[in-house]
Amino acid sequence: LAKTTQPISMDSYEGQEVNITCSHNNIATNDYITWYQQFPSQGPRFIIQGYKTKVTNEVASLFIPADRKSSTLSLPRVSLSDTAVYYCLVGDVTTDSWGKLQFGAGTQVVVTP
Amino acid sequence: GAVVSQHPSWVICKSGTSVKIECRSLDFQATTMFWYRQFPKQSLMLMATSNEGSKATYEQGVEKDKFLINHASLTLSTLTVTSAHPEDSSFYICSASREGANNEQFFGPGTRLTVL
């Protein structure tokens, strides 16, 4: 699995857009990029997954440049409830070993009023 | 959506006792489940892969005799922490994937183990 690097923490105010960039220089051809959110004392929750270009769902957008060596999770108009740790993971989702997720340190996002 | 439950949500035990944690996929079948451990202010660490009908596969450094895993059915995996000690106190989380769910791993809510 490709190693990922994220900022340790990010602060934001309510209503702002938060962009978290993850570096994954050694991403392989079959690897997908997946982001999870974790609140204290809870299991991680799937946010979004993508392979290239841009993916958008009801909670976030994921931007992936052509070289796929990085990706950016964009959280539009954050609220206090978006305060959490966000993890970027890279791996081949088509294999049986996909579930063996290797979590990096994650990014602690703190949203204040 | 797919739901994974864990029981108990928290447990306090005396040193030397064994504790069993259950992980259930409530509305889907999971041939493979995964167990993670998370210490305070740290990331999740994969402990083992639980395979239905076969032995679990442990990550390097995880004692298989200490952390017994049994995948009794397609919806249930159990993790037993044997002869628990204070250093085993941690947050234990399981996950499972549902076929056709966009490769999404569904995580349980976690179990907080405190060993006195």
Average pLDDT over every residue of A13-26: 96
- Give pLDDT, residue A104: 86
| A50 touches B: beta carbon within 8 Å | no
Q: Can you give the pLDDT at residue B46? A: 93
Q: Has residue B114 got a pLDDT over 70? A: yes
* Residue A30 near residue A75, CB atoms below 8 Å: no
Q: Is the peptide bond before A65 cis (omega within 30 degrees of 0)?
A: no
Most A CBs within 10 Å: which of B11, B43, B99, as the mutation test of the A interface? Answer: B43
Report the C-alpha gap between B24 and B76 in whole angstroms. 5
Q: Tell me what pLDDT residue B37 has.
A: 97
Residues of A in contact with B109 (CB under 8 A): 42-43
A interface test, pick of B7, B39, B103, B113 with most A CB neighbours within 10 Å: B103
Distance from CA of B43 to the nearest CA of A (A): 5
- A40 in contact with B at a CB cutoff of 8 Å? no
